[in-house]
């Protein structure tokens, strides 16, 4: 028996060696065009004996080597099946940072079933030929899934199953995804590889529409608008409009513009791209950044009035400055150095960013501008169609206060609410200031103390407003008096001028009479 076994191994060894030798000869001596034919017919021959079809889905695709959407969807689709069926699993920290998420490890295979048909998914890895072997995982390792199925089911798999996997995977991905807060890097930090135009952190802002202090009707109107937008894919396609919407949030500092953006992102489950316009070199770079944003996202430009010289009015002073600089070479050189670092994004570049051809790629995006001074903005930038909805965030109303009292102190009513209500009708206070007063300053701080603090602040604000009004009144009176004085002086001089020739003539006549 032992001899027979040994004999069999020896024969197998020599057959393998023979085949390898024949393969090497084939590679070396058969011309390349003939090799193509041989390989084609070998595959065909194999097809008779191997009735399975394989489909590969690679992780990185396209010229820019972006992560393939299909790969991500399959990864999500297989994640739940992997934990039940795979034998070699990979663990990573989950979305909530508390639990572990399991997925199939490299070169592992799991079986799936669809309408009674069996299929096999494998996660493969390959190292580029140019790279030498290393024990450490490299960023250049290529990953791809392979789906294997019997050729009898080709139609069902390619026409139904793949779409099903994509849809399911996207839904799982959406449920499990960690939302991200992106910010743009300066182009000098793009490190040649185009992946790093945006860098991100996990988005974890707790603001919601429930915690947002504002008029309930206005709040509901915004929520309805967002819901209509989210469900509007078909509608936007029907009317021939890109699936995006512009919001302009304006109002004094501390009235909740940033908080509202966070609430919107949490409500819609979108990522946020916080675009720092001053770090964008020019319009081309702005377009590149836009292309790299994903759908289901909010692109935010905060304090748009401070971001760049985007207003038409300021152009004149700029031209005047330039004339003066031309005369002074030192000033001119300093300006050139500064301007090489400065952003050259123009108003027209920004308008194109909002609603040019490129803005339609990806779809399902909100573009939000915030400003404290809406009147400073160029009307073209905020006209309807670009900024579809203008939302004014204003000083805290009593309704807003009640939301904050519930959030911060868990109070629905209190005997001090009446006084606060009448004070709020008489004076202006931002939600940020109200929130600051409602926060207990010590561990033992109770609700009553916080409300008393707020009343004190409101009274102080009222007194300040009164003093300011008195001051303004005095200033007005003084300036009015000065105006009257100047006017009467001017009138007096004019009278003098008007009367003097006549008087001269009178004098002349009296002399003549004499």
Nearer to ligand ATP, 162 or 432 (CB): 432
User: Binding ligand ATP by CB under 6 A: which of 349, 431, 438, 454?
Assistant: 431
Residues with Cβ within 8 Å of 85's Cβ and at least 6 positions away in sequence, in order, are 110, 111
How far apart, in whole angstroms, are the C-alpha atoms of residue 392 and residue 255? 9
- Window 70-99: residues binding ligand ATP (CB under 6 A): none
Specify the residue, 169 or 431, whose C-beta has the smaller distance to ligand ATP: 431
Residue 181 lies near ligand ATP (rule: CB under 6 A):
no
State both tokens at 455.
């009343």
Give the CB-nearest residue to ligand ATP. Answer: 256
Q: Which of 259, 359, 397, 437 binds ligand ATP (CB under 6 A)?
A: 259
φ and ψ of 478, to 5 deg: -60, -45
Alpha-carbon distance 308 to 349, whole Å?
12
User: 78 vs 275, which CB is nearer to ligand ATP?
Assistant: 275
Task: Please say which residue, 218 or 459, places its beta carbon nearer to ligand ATP.
Answer: 218
Distance CA 357, CA 291 (A): 11
For ligand ATP, the closer of residues 362 and 431 by Cβ is 431
Q: Is residue 213 close enough to count as binding ligand ATP by CB under 6 A?
A: yes
Interacting span for ligand ATP (CB under 6 A) from 15-23, 206-214, 306-314, 335-343: 206-214
**Shortest CB 372 distance to ligand ATP, Å:** 5
Return the exposure string of 219-228: e unless at least 16 CB atoms fall within 10 Å of the residue's CB, then b.
beebeeebee
Q: Is 435 in the site for ligand ATP (CB under 6 A)?
A: yes
Indicate whether 257 belongs to the interface with ligand ATP (CB under 6 A). yes
CA distances (Å), origin 229, targets 172, 244, 340: 22, 8, 40
Is the sign of the CA dihedral 189, 190, 192, 195 positive or negative? positive
Compare residues 235 and 373 and give the one whose CB is closer to ligand ATP: 373
Give residues with Cβ within 8 angstroms of 492, minimum separation 6: none
User: Beta partners for 90?
Assistant: 103
Task: Please state the φ and ψ torsions of residue 201, each to the nearest 5 degrees.
Answer: -130, 165
Question: Which C-beta is closer to ligand ATP: that of 110 or that of 432?
Answer: 432
Is 307 a residue that touches ligand ATP (CB under 6 A)?
no
Nearer to ligand ATP, 76 or 367 (CB): 367
* Sign of the dihedral defined by the CA atoms of residues 206, 195, 60, 139, in that order: negative
Stretch that binds ligand ATP, among 60-68, 148-156, 257-265, 347-355 (CB under 6 A): 257-265
- State how far the Cα of 428 lies from the Cα of 393, in Å rounded to an integer: 13
In the complex, minimum distance from the CB of residue 178 to ligand ATP, in angstroms, rounded to a whole number? 22
Residues between 351 and 380 with contacts to ligand ATP, criterion CB under 6 A: 372
- β-pair type (89-93, 100-104): antiparallel
Does 409 bind ligand ATP (CB under 6 A)? Our answer is no
Site string for ligand ATP, 217-256 (x = CB under 6 A): ------------------------------------xxxx
In the range 98-137, which residues lie near ligand ATP by CB under 6 A? Answer: none
| Comparison of 179 and 257: residue with beta carbon closer to ligand ATP | 257
Q: Is 481 helix (H, G, I), strand (E, B) or coil?
A: helix
Can you tell me the distance from the alpha carbon of 110 to that of 104, in angstroms, rounded to the nearest whole number? 8
Residues 14-43 that bind ligand ATP (CB under 6 A): none
Q: Provide the β-strand partners of residue 184.
A: 198
Phi, psi of 248 (to 5 degrees): -110, 115
The span of 85-93, 309-317, 430-438, 443-451 binding ligand ATP (CB under 6 A) equals: 430-438
Residues that bind ligand ATP (CB under 6 A): 212-214, 253-259, 372, 431-432, 435
């Amino acid at each position: 028996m032992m001899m027979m076994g040994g004999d069999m191994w020896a024969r197998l060894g020599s057959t393998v060696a023979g085949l390898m030798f024949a393969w090497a000869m084939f590679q070396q001596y058969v011309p390349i065009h003939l090799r193509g034919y041989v390989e084609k017919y070998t595959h065909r021959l194999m097809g008779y004996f191997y009735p399975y079809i394989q489909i590969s889905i690679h992780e990185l695709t396209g010229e820019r080597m972006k992560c393939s959407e299909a790969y991500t969807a399959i990864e999500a689709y297989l994640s739940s099946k992997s934990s039940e069926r795979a034998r070699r699993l990979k663990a990573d920290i989950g979305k909530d940072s508390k639990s572990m998420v399991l997925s199939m490890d490299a070169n592992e295979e799991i079986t799936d079933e669809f309408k009674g048909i069996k299929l096999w998914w494998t996660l493969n890895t390959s190292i580029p030929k140019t790279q030498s072997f290393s024990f450490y995982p490299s960023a250049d390792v290529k990953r791809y899934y392979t789906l294997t199925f019997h050729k009898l089911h080709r139609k069902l798999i390619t026409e139904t199953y793949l779409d099903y996997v994509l849809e399911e995977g996207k839904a799982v991905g959406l449920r499990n995804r960690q939302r991200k807060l992106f910010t743009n890097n300066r182009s000098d930090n793009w490190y040649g590889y185009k992946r790093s135009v945006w860098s991100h952190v996990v988005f974890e802002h707790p603001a919601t529409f429930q915690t947002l202090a504002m008029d309930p009707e206005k709040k509901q109107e915004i929520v309805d608008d967002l819901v209509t937008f989210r469900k509007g894919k078909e509608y936007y396609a029907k009317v021939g409009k890109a699936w995006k919407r512009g919001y302009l949030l304006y109002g004094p500092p501390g009235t909740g513009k940033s908080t509202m953006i966070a609430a919107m992102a949490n409500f819609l489950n979108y990522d946020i791209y916080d675009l720092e316009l001053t770090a964008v070199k020019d319009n081309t770079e702005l377009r590149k950044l836009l292309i790299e944003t994903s759908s289901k996202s909010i692109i935010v430009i905060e304090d748009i009035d401070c971001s760049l010289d985007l207003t038409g009015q300021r152009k004149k002073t700029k031209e005047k400055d330039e004339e003066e600089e031309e005369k002074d070479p030192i000033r001119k050189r300093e300006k050139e150095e500064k301007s090489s670092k400065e952003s050259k994004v123009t108003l027209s570049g920004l308008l194109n960013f909002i609603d040019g051809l490129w803005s339609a790629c990806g779809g399902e995006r909100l573009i939000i501008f915030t400003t404290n001074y809406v009147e400073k903005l160029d009307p073209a930038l905020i006209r309807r169609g670009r900024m579809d909805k203008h939302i004014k965030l204003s000083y805290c109303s009593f309704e807003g206060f009640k939301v904050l009292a519930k959030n911060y102190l868990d109070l629905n009513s209190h005997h001090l609410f009446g006084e606060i209500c009448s004070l709020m009708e008489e004076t202006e206070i931002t939600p940020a200031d109200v929130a600051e007063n409602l926060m207990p300053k010590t561990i033992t701080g109770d609700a009553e103390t916080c409300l008393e603090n707020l009343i004190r602040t409101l009274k102080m604000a009222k007194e300040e407003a009164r003093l300011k009004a008195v001051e303004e009144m005095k200033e007005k009176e003084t300036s009015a008096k000065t105006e009257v004085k100047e006017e009467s002086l001017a009138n007096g001089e004019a009278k003098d001028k008007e009367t003097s020739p006549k008087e001269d003539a009178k004098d002349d006549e009296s002399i003549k009479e004499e």
